[in-house]
Structure 1
Amino acid sequence: MPERGSGPTGDSVAQRLRRTQERFEPLVTRVILGGIFVTGLVAQFVKPVGDAIQGKAYLGGALLSLVGYVLYDAVKELSTSTRQPVRALVGSSELGGFVSEAFKARKVEISFLGYTGETLYNELYHRLRALSDAPGQVRDVTVRMLVPDFEQPMTVPARVGPDGQHVDDPAFRARLLQRCEEYEGALSDIADQISRTTRTEVRCEYRFYPGIPGQKVCIFNRVQVLHGFYDLSARMRLQRTGPEYYDPKGYTTDLNVCSPGTAATDPVVTMWNKYFDDLWALASVPSWRRSAAA
């Protein structure tokens, strides 16, 4: 199985043992209870067997085991019916769990399409810090962040003008641009440190896509997709009495979880991977990296 498929939906030893237990536990339990019932019943009517067991309450024990058998089936059925289904919707504040699961693979690939990537950046920063101290089985990490081209005029983010109009604000865009540069710089510094001091190769890169930040997409190890929509009408102020801005808040965005394994979700995951790869190929390199290259 490809390493990239062993991320959030991958098999750990504990998960395999748990599935083995769930598979054979009902059969073994039923065999034991059934054996007790049959043995007790035979011992009640077949004297040599009863003498060999040296018991006096064979029938009672047999009936008790039969009751246990029935109750076991009932409890298993109830447990199955009340088991929590896999969650289809999560908050952006829960990204940490998905990042941690992705880093259980030997080859980690995390792709982001959205606004500034701040919510995911925070989770990645701490996870890469931990990786620098204890790489474990991770051997390759690729982080790709696609954000809007803040170097171009935009309608969102923008300043709120008269009658709610969207007014491009170069200073506000420059603030967001600087934030993205800082995020990439911090991640790249850790990535370089890990690559130098361990056997793990780490790459982190930001690129720009044209347009407004309408969608938030996170792809983990190419097998799990989280997708949601930003609130493009959200407003904020940098200062209490300062101007108001249209500024989508990613940490409040709910995300639909799309995992592989069904005829309905597999094509969706494949579609998002292709869409991101195509958009990444078309995306432009940020000015701060162009300046460094020159």
Structure 2
Amino acid sequence: MAQLETLPTETLLDIISCLRGPRDVRTLLNLCLTSKRLWMITQPFLYNVPAYLSRLKSLHIKDKLKMRHPTMPEVVDLMCLPSLKEFSLAFCEGNGSGCPFFELPPGSFKFSELHLIRASLDATRLTNIMRACENLEVLAYETTVPWDARRRVSCQFPAPALLPCLEPQRQNLKSLRVDLDVANPIAIEKWHRCPQYGSFRAFENLKHLEVEQGILHDFGNLPPNIETVTVLACDYPVYDMMAGLAEYCKNDFSRLELVSLRPKFPPASGLLGIPGAYAFNDLEDDDWFREQYRVGCATLDTIVNDVNFELEVECDGWEMYQHGEL
């Protein structure tokens, strides 16, 4: 560093212009701290944003090469745009040769909403992203890596690693959607064998949560100020789960307004505890199944009869029951 100070300003500018902030931000910051002269020369390069991008507020990128192109590390530069409010990246594959490690100083990412769709990231990369965010309020993370292929080809973080990864944004997050596609009754027959996230109780500002049924396990793990809950891949029996929530709500979750059950496999016979595989037309063609379905809906309806929140089951069969068509 001392030798750099002796160089003419023109030469220093040529050298420093080869550095790219934010990817080389650590090097640039070190130069800034070396001397006042280097600070004055280096500072303009720290966040050198093209004028035509400086006011961009929303950016959506779909990389069908799954982070294998050599230019993909430059996506970090775009994520650091100063006016960016919303950023989404589809096909973010951590095993891709071009996938960056997202190692940036805290506050580098100004966006408050982040969507990582069809993603497969390890815990280190996701943690780095969370640390680089200044104030992340909305996060959606969805993976589509087949369950039986994960151990062979994927770097996807396991369910228990989620909450430690989110710790840097624990006080900021208001809305969280996570679908790791692991809570599947076909792959994991017994609910208690599903991997678990753990407790969201420490996420005091989290108001909207969407997670898989099998990974949530206990509604007592919900954040204290939760307003809406969407239970994804809701294909395990829900009677005990909803009865437990109704009991919790007697003393907790005073702000809870809506619980939405979203089955992955219609006609939602799994969440009603009806064994076997059925199609929606079985509600018309199979009298036994139709009666079991009606009884199941009535049981669920009774469980939530006195609760203060609204229950929504995203299935036509539940709508038929509510309209007296079963």
Determine if the TM-score, normalized by the shorter chain, exceeds 0.5: no
Structure index of larger Rg: 1
Larger proportion of strand: 1
Per chain length, whose mean CA-contact separation is higher, i.e. which structure has more relative contact order (CA < 8 Å, sep 6+)?
1
Q: Which has the higher helix share?
A: 1
Scaled by the length of structure 1, the TM-score of the pair is 0.31
